[in-house]
C-alpha cells in the first residue's frame, strides 16, 4: 500500500521526468550531437555526484548516422551500379564456369555477393593506392571474397580471359589465379593473406600500430594512410579477431578501420540465430573503446521510419533475432509483409502502398552506397581511435534461391534459370546460352562505365590490390664485424642467449642498420637478459613515459619512450607474431627493410601460433624468430608445458623457414650475419628460426674454415685423437654431452670417435632431398652427392646423433646414412627436474651417448657385446628404465 503522500510524490516525479524528456527532445531536434554531448555531460556530473550509473554499450537497432546528417553521395550512381553488376557477374561466371568444367574445384560466390557494395564504395571513393610518393591504404580483404577482387581487376584490364579461365588452375601453362589472397602465389597482386579466419583482423591491428611505430621513430613520413580490414561476422568468433582490439583504442589507432560484413551467416548457418550479432559486436567494440558505426538499413527504409511516428517499426526490428532476419531474406516480399509488418496492423498499413517486390527489395545498409559512403567518411575523419563499421548485408545477395540459405556459403554453381535471371536482373549483355556456361563479359575499355571506374582509380593513385618490392640499397655487415663473438668467450661461461643479446646490442648501435632492427618480446625480456637493451633503446610507447619508474635511479631502469625501439607486447605470442609480420614485410609495404628479432619462449612459438607463421611465410616475411629457453632438458625445472623438444620439427614444415640449432655463440654469429645478408642484401624471401639456450658454458673460438659447414648444417668440430671407428653428431647444448662422450669413449673404452656439430638437420635434409630429386630426374647424368654425404667423406663407423630435440630431427637424414645412424633425443613429455636428471631420463647425457656408441659397435661386431653390456652398468645407465618416450 502506498500512502497518499507517496502517490503525490511519485506523480510529481513523473512530471519532472516528462519535463526533462521534453527539454532533451528539443535539444536533439535541433542537433543530435548536442543531445549526445548533453547526455555525456550529465553522466559526468552524475559520476562526480557519486550516482552509480552503468554505461550503456549498445544503442537502438538503427543506423548510427541519422539521415539528416548524411552528405550526398558524390559518385555517379548509375555507372557505379553498372560496374558493380559487371563485377558481380564476372565473379559468379568465373566460379560457376570453373566448377562446370572441373567439378569440385571450388570457389565461393556468397561472401562476395554480400560484400560487393562495401568494397565498391571503397574502390571508387576511399582506397588510395598512393599518397604522393608514399604507399597508400592497406586493404585486408575477406579471403572468400577473392573472386570479386579478381573480377574487378579483370574489368580494369589487369587480367585477361585466360586468367579467369585459370582461376584455381595454378599449375597450367598460363598464369592462374590463386583460390585466396596469397602473396606467395601472386606476389605482384596480394599483400595480405587473410583466408585463415582471424589472422587478417589481428594482423591489421598490429599493422596499424606498426605504421605508427615507424612514424614515431621517423622511419616513414606520417600520411593519412588507413588500414581497412574487411572481416566476416562469423570470423569474429575467432579469438584472434577480437582478442587484441583493445590495442587499437589504447594506442589511439585512428588509422585503423574494421568493416564487419554482417551478413548474419557463417558456413553452417546463422552466426547468432537467437540473438543479433550487430548488438553483440557493438557492445564488444564500444566496450573496448572503438568508435562504432552501425549501417543497418538502406535509404529506402528511411521513408518508412519517417512515416512511423510511434517507434513501432524500430520496436518490431528489436523483437526480431538474426534467425528471423535471415528468413526474411530467404523468402519473398509477401512473407515479409505477413510475418514482419503483419504483426501490427499499424505496420501493415505503413507498407500498404508497396508491392511485394518493393518489400523484397528493401535494402540493407551494407548494400546501399550512400549509407556506406557516409559511414566510411565518418570513419576516416574520426580522430583518437579506431572505427568499426558494422554493416548489415545479405549472404548470397542476388543469387536467387541460394540467397540467405544456410547452405549458401558453399554454393559454387547456379542453375541455368538462375544464371539467366541474373544476367537479366543485372542487365549483362550476353546471350542466355553463354550465361549458362559462365562466360565472362567485359565491355571495351572506352565504354563509359569502364572509363569511369578507371578514372576513379586514377584519381586515387592507381589499382589496388598491388604488391611491390622496391629495390633497396642494403649492405649487410661482413662476418668480421662479428669478430667479438666468433673469437670465443675466453673461458667465461655464457649462454647462447647471452651471446645473442650482446650481438643484438651491437647491431642496435650500428649507424647504418641499427635503426632498422625491431626487437620484439612478449613479456619475456628479463628471461633473456634484455634489461640492458631496454635501457639502451627503450620500449616503444606512443605517449612516452608519463610516470617516473620506481627504478629510475638505477642504471638499467625501465625506459619507455615515444621513439623507443623495442616492441614489448605483453603476454601475447599471437600479437607479437603479428608485429613480427608487420615488421617482416615492411620492406615491401613501407619500402623500409626493418629487421625484426622476435624473442620468445620456444615452447610458445610454432605450436601455439603456427598458423600465423604459415601466413607470415605466405606474406614473404623476413626476419629472425629467436626461440629462447630451448631444449627439453636444458630448460630445467619448468616441466611438461615449458620444455621444448619439437619446435624444430614444426619449423621444418614451413618451406621458407631456415632453422638452426646452434651450440656456440660463433655459430649463432655466422648464422645471423648470413641471414641478414641473404634476406636483406640478396632479397631471398626466407626467414630464420634459431634456438637459444640458457645454459652457461665457455664458448670456443670459431674453428678456421667452419663457416660454410655451419651454414649448410654440419662440420667436423673435434676429430678423434686416434683412428676413428665411430662418428658423434651433436647439436645445441647437447653438443657438450657429445664432447664428453667422446672423451669417455676414448679414455675408458679405447674407442675413438670424431665429433661433428650439426647446426641444422633441416637444411641438410632439404639439400639432400633436392639432390636426390635431381638425380631421379636425370638418370643419365653423373650422380650428384648431397652435402651431408660429401662432408662426411670417408669418416668411418656408425653415427650416434644426439640433440635436445626429438629423434625425428636426426632421423630425417636416415635415407642418406643407411644402417649407420643411431639417434638419441627427447621424445616424451618433459619433467620438472635439473639438467643432470633430465638428460639421464631422456638418455641424451654423455653416458647414454657413450653407451649407445658401444652398443652399436657391438651389433656391428666391432666391440664385444658383453663388454658393451658391462659398460652400460659402469656408465650408470638403467637398462630396464621405462621408455621416456612413453613415460
Query: Between residues 262 and 513, which has the closer beta carbon with respect to ligand TPP?
Result: 262
Query: Between residues 232 and 333, which has the closer beta carbon with respect to ligand TPP?
Result: 232
- From the list 731, 789, 735, 718, the residue with the least C-alpha distance to 759 is 731
Query: Between residues 363 and 856, which has the closer beta carbon with respect to Mg ion?
Result: 363
Query: Between residues 235 and 524, which has the closer beta carbon with respect to ligand TPP?
Result: 235
Structural contact between residues 190 and 226, judged by C-beta atoms closer than 8 angstroms: no
Question: Minimum distance from CB of 266 to Mg ion (Å)?
Answer: 5
- Whole-number Å distance between alpha carbons of 648 and 639: 19
Query: Between residues 392 and 463, which has the closer beta carbon with respect to Mg ion?
Result: 392
Long-range contacts, 66-72 (Cβ 8 Å, 24+): 66/32, 67/299, 67/302, 67/306, 69/32, 69/374, 70/370, 70/371, 70/374, 71/373, 71/374, 71/377, 72/370
Residue 717, helix vs strand vs coil: strand
Report 14-53 residues binding ligand TPP (CB under 6 A): none
Report 169-198 residues binding ligand TPP (CB under 6 A): 195-197
What does 144 interact with, of Mg ion, ligand TPP, none (CB < 5 to 8 A by kind)? Answer: ligand TPP
Figure out which of the listed residues 70, 80, 233, 280 binds Mg ion, where binding follows CB under 5 A: 233
Structural contact between residues 804 and 633, judged by C-beta atoms closer than 8 angstroms: yes
What does 450 interact with, of ligand TPP, Mg ion, none (CB < 5 to 8 A by kind)? Answer: none
Figure out which of the listed residues 75, 107, 232, 440 binds ligand TPP, where binding follows CB under 6 A: 232
Q: Does 111 bind ligand TPP (CB under 6 A)?
A: yes
Indicate the DSSP class of residue 386. Answer: -
Q: Does 267 bind ligand TPP (CB under 6 A)?
A: yes
Query: Between residues 271 and 450, which has the closer beta carbon with respect to ligand TPP?
Result: 271
Q: Does 142 bind ligand TPP (CB under 6 A)?
A: yes
Per-residue interface string for the shown chain with ligand TPP, residues 818-857, x marking contact by CB under 6 A: ----------------------------------------
What does 826 interact with, of Mg ion, ligand TPP, none (CB < 5 to 8 A by kind)? Answer: none
Q: Does 406 bind ligand TPP (CB under 6 A)?
A: no
Question: Minimum distance from CB of 197 to Mg ion (Å)?
Answer: 10
What angle (nearest 5°) sits at the alpha carbon of residue 451, between those of residues 450 and 455?
A: 115
- Whole-number Å distance between alpha carbons of 370 and 327: 26
What does 111 interact with, of ligand TPP, Mg ion, none (CB < 5 to 8 A by kind)? Answer: ligand TPP
In 10 A of CB 53, how many CB atoms? 9
Residue 309, helix vs strand vs coil: coil
Structural contact between residues 398 and 113, judged by C-beta atoms closer than 8 angstroms: yes
Q: Does 236 bind Mg ion (CB under 5 A)?
A: no
Report 378-397 residues binding ligand TPP (CB under 6 A): 395
Figure out which of the listed residues 75, 122, 232, 564 binds Mg ion, where binding follows CB under 5 A: 232
Residues in Cβ contact with 9 at an 8 Å cutoff, skipping those fewer than 6 apart? none
- The count of chain residues that interact with Mg ion, using the rule CB under 5 A, is 5
Query: Between residues 144 and 371, which has the closer beta carbon with respect to ligand TPP?
Result: 144
Figure out which of the listed residues 88, 144, 191, 413 binds ligand TPP, where binding follows CB under 6 A: 144
- Whole-number Å distance between alpha carbons of 808 and 798: 18
Q: 270 forms bridges with which residues in the sheet? A: 265
- Whole-number Å distance between alpha carbons of 26 and 19: 11
Per-residue interface string for the shown chain with ligand TPP, residues 303-322, x marking contact by CB under 6 A: --------------------
Total residues found in the chain within this entry: 887
The DSSP secondary structure of 458-489, one letter per residue, reads: HHTTS-SS----------PPPGGGGHHHHS--
Figure out which of the listed residues 234, 298, 596, 825 binds Mg ion, where binding follows CB under 5 A: 234
Query: Between residues 263 and 731, which has the closer beta carbon with respect to Mg ion?
Result: 263
Q: Report how far apart the first and last C-alpha atoms of the chain are (Å, whole number).
A: 73
Per-residue interface string for the shown chain with Mg ion, residues 239-278, x marking contact by CB under 5 A: ------------------------x-x-------------
What does 142 interact with, of Mg ion, ligand TPP, none (CB < 5 to 8 A by kind)? Answer: ligand TPP
Structural contact between residues 753 and 742, judged by C-beta atoms closer than 8 angstroms: yes
Question: Minimum distance from CB of 237 to ligand TPP (Å)?
Answer: 8
Figure out which of the listed residues 120, 156, 233, 767 binds ligand TPP, where binding follows CB under 6 A: 233
Residues in Cβ contact with 120 at an 8 Å cutoff, skipping those fewer than 6 apart? 80, 83, 84, 87, 369
Q: 718 forms bridges with which residues in the sheet? A: 755
| Binding-site ranges for ligand TPP (CB under 6 A) | 111, 114, 142, 144, 195-197, 232-235, 261, 263, 265-267, 271, 395, 409
| Binding-site ranges for Mg ion (CB under 5 A) | 232-234, 263, 265
Amino acid at each position: 500500500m502506498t500512502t497518499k503522500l507517496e502517490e503525490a510524490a511519485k506523480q510529481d516525479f513523473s512530471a519532472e521526468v516528462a519535463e526533462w524528456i521534453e527539454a532533451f527532445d528539443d535539444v536533439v531536434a535541433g542537433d543530435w550531437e548536442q543531445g549526445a554531448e548533453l547526455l555525456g555531460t550529465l553522466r559526468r556530473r552524475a559520476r562526480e555526484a557519486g550516482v552509480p550509473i552503468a554505461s550503456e554499450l549498445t544503442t537502438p537497432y538503427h543506423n548510427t548516422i541519422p539521415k539528416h546528417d548524411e552528405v550526398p553521395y558524390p559518385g555517379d550512381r548509375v555507372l557505379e551500379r553498372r560496374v558493380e553488376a559487371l563485377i558481380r557477374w564476372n565473379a559468379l561466371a568465373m566460379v560457376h564456369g570453373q566448377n562446370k568444367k572441373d567439378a569440385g574445384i571450388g570457389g565461393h560466390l556468397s561472401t562476395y555477393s554480400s560484400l560487393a557494395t562495401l568494397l565498391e564504395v571503397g574502390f571508387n571513393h576511399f582506397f588510395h593506392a598512393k599518397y604522393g610518393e608514399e604507399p597508400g591504404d592497406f586493404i585486408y580483404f575477406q579471403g572468400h571474397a577473392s573472386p570479386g577482387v579478381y573480377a574487378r581487376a579483370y574489368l580494369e584490364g589487369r587480367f585477361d580471359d585466360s586468367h579467369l579461365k585459370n582461376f584455381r588452375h595454378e599449375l597450367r601453362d598460363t598464369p592462374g589465379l590463386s583460390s585466396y589472397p596469397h602473396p606467395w602465389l601472386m606476389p605482384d597482386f596480394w599483400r595480405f593473406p587473410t583466408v585463415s579466419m582471424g589472422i587478417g583482423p589481428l594482423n591489421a591491428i598490429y599493422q596499424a600500430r606498426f605504421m605508427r611505430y615507424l612514424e614515431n621513430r621517423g622511419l616513414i613520413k606520417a600520411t593519412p594512410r588507413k588500414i581497412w580490414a574487411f572481416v566476416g561476422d562469423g570470423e569474429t568468433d575467432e579469438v584472434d579477431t577480437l582478442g587484441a582490439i583493445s590495442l587499437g583504442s589504447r594506442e589511439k589507432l585512428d588509422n585503423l578501420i574494421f568493416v564487419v560484413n554482417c551478413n548474419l551467416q557463417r558456413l553452417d548457418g546463422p552466426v547468432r540465430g537467437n540473438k543479433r550479432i550487430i548488438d553483440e559486436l557493438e557492445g564488444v567494440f564500444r566496450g573496448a573503446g572503438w568508435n562504432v558505426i552501425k549501417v543497418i538499413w538502406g535509404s529506402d527504409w528511411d521513408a518508412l521510419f519517417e512515416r512511423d511516428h510511434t517507434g513501432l517499426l524500430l520496436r518490431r526490428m528489436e523483437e526480431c533475432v538474426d534467425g528471423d532476419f535471415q528468413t526474411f531474406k530467404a523468402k519473398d516480399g509477401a512473407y515479409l509483409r505477413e510475418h514482419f509488418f503483419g504483426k501490427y496492423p499499424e505496420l501493415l498499413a505503413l507498407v500498404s502502398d508497396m508491392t511485394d517486390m518493393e518489400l523484397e527489395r528493401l535494402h540493407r545498409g551494407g548494400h546501399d552506397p550512400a549509407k556506406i559512403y557516409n559511414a566510411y567518411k565518418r570513419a576516416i575523419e574520426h580522430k583518437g581511435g579506431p572505427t568499426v563499421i558494422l554493416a548489415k548485408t545479405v549472404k548470397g545477395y542476388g543469387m536467387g534461391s541460394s540467397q540467405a540459405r544456410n547452405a549458401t556459403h558453399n554454393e559454387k554453381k547456379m542453375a541455368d534459370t538462375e544464371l539467366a535471371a541474373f544476367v537479366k536482373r543485372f542487365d549483362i549483355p550476353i546471350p542466355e546460352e553463354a550465361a549458362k556456361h559462365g562466360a565472362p563479359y567485359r565491355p571495351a575499355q572506352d565504354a563509359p562505365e569502364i572509363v569511369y571506374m578507371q578514372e576513379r582509380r586514377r584519381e586515387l593513385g592507381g589499382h589496388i590490390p598491388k604488391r611491390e618490392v622496391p629495390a633497396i640499397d642494403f649492405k649487410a655487415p661482413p662476418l668480421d664485424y662479428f669478430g667479438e663473438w666468433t673469437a670465443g668467450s675466453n673461458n667465461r661461461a655464457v649462454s647462447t642467449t647471452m651471446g645473442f643479446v650482446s650481438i643484438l646490442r651491437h647491431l642496435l648501435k650500428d649507424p647504418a642498420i641499427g635503426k632498422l632492427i625491431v626487437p620484439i618480446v612478449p613479456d619475456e625480456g628479463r628471461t633473456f637478459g634484455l634489461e640492458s637493451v631496454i635501457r639502451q633503446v627503450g620500449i616503444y610507447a606512443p605517449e612516452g613515459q608519463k610516470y617516473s619508474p620506481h627504478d629510475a635511479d638505477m642504471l638499467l631502469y625501465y625506459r619507455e619512450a615515444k621513439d623507443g625501439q623495442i616492441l614489448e607486447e605483453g603476454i601475447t605470442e599471437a600479437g607479437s607474431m603479428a608485429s613480427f609480420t608487420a615488421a617482416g614485410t615492411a620492406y615491401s609495404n613501407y619500402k623500409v627493410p626493418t629487421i625484426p628479432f622476435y624473442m620468445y619462449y620456444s615452447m610458445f612459438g610454432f605450436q601455439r601460433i603456427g598458423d600465423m607463421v604459415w601466413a607470415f611465410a605466405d606474406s614473404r616475411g623476413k626476419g629472425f624468430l629467436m626461440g629462447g629457453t630451448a631444449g627439453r632438458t636444458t630448460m630445467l625445472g619448468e616441466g611438461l608445458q615449458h620444455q621444448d623438444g619439437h619446435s624444430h620439427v614444426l619449423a621444418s614444415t614451413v618451406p621458407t623457414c631456415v632453422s638452426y640449432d646452434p651450440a656456440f655463440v660463433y655459430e649463432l654469429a655466422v648464422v645471423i650475419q648470413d641471414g641478414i645478408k641473404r634476406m636483406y642484401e640478396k632479397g631471398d624471401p626466407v626467414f630464420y628460426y634459431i634456438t637459444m639456450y640458457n645454459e652457461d658454458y665457455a664458448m670456443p673460438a670459431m674453428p678456421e674454415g667452419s663457416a660454410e659447414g655451419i651454414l649448410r648444417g654440419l662440420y667436423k668440430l673435434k676429430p678423434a685423437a686416434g683412428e676413428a671407428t665411430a662418428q658423434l653428431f651433436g647439436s645445441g647444448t647437447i653438443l657438450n654431452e657429445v664432447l664428453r662422450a667422446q672423451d669417455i669413449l676414448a679414455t675408458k673404452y679405447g674407442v675413438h670417435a670424431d665429433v661433428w656439430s650439426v647446426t641444422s638437420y633441416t637444411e641438410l635434409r632439404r639439400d639432400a632431398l633436392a639432390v636426390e630429386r635431381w638425380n631421379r630426374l636425370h638418370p643419365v647424368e653423373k650422380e650428384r652427392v648431397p652435402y651431408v654425404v660429401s662432408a662426411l667423406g670417408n669418416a668411418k663407423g656408425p653415427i650416434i646423433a644426439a640433440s635436445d630435440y626429438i629423434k625425428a630431427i636426426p632421423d630425417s637424414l636416415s635415407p642418406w646414412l643407411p644402417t649407420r645412424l643411431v639417434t638419441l633425443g627427447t621424445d616424451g613429455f618433459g619433467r620438472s627436474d635439473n639438467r643432470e636428471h633430465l638428460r639421464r631420463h631422456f638418455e641424451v647425457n654423455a653416458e647414454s651417448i657413450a653407451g649407445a656408441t658401444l652398443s652399436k659397435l657391438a651389433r656391428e661386431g666391432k666391440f664385444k657385446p658383453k663388454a658393451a653390456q658391462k659398460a652400460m652398468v659402469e656408465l650408470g645407465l638403467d637398462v630396464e628404465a621405462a621408455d621416456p618416450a612413453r613415460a
